[in-house]
Amino acid sequence: MEKNEKELVIPENCLPVEYLIMGFTMNDILAIGICVVIGSVVALSVYHRTHNSMIAVAVIFVVGIVAITLWRRDRFTENIFNKIWIAILYQKTQKNYLYEYVDTWDKEITYDVRYNTK
């Protein structure tokens, strides 16, 4: 039996992804850091208004957790923003056809899809 020697196929137009922490690239960590800084500024202003440090700390933690959730990449190297963008593009490509059902025997419109009437 002869061996089948095939070339290794490397996908084109795919950027290499280097994770600093599993699921986070350098850009993701920078974006999370920016969100936490903005959350800290908001928390500081909340603290000056309410003089309650627990609310301010909770604001920082909530902003941090939401930022981590939004920028975490899955096994397909997509984060939430990419998935939302893919869903929007998919929705734009779908075609919707309005139709009216006409019975072959009675020749009258029995259901109109646009108005949901009988």
Q: Domain residue spans in the chain?
A: 26-87
Alpha-carbon distance of 60 to 39, in angstroms, equals: 5
Provide the mean pLDDT of the chain: 84
pLDDT over 80 (residue 112): no
pLDDT tens, residue by residue, 27-79: 899 999 999 999 999 999 999 999 999 999 999 999 999 999 999 988 888 89
Query: Residue 108 has what pLDDT?
Result: 60
H or E element, residue 28:
helix 26-50
Burial (CB count <10 Å: 0-12, 13-18, 19+), residue 31: middle
Query: Residue 103 has what pLDDT?
Result: 66
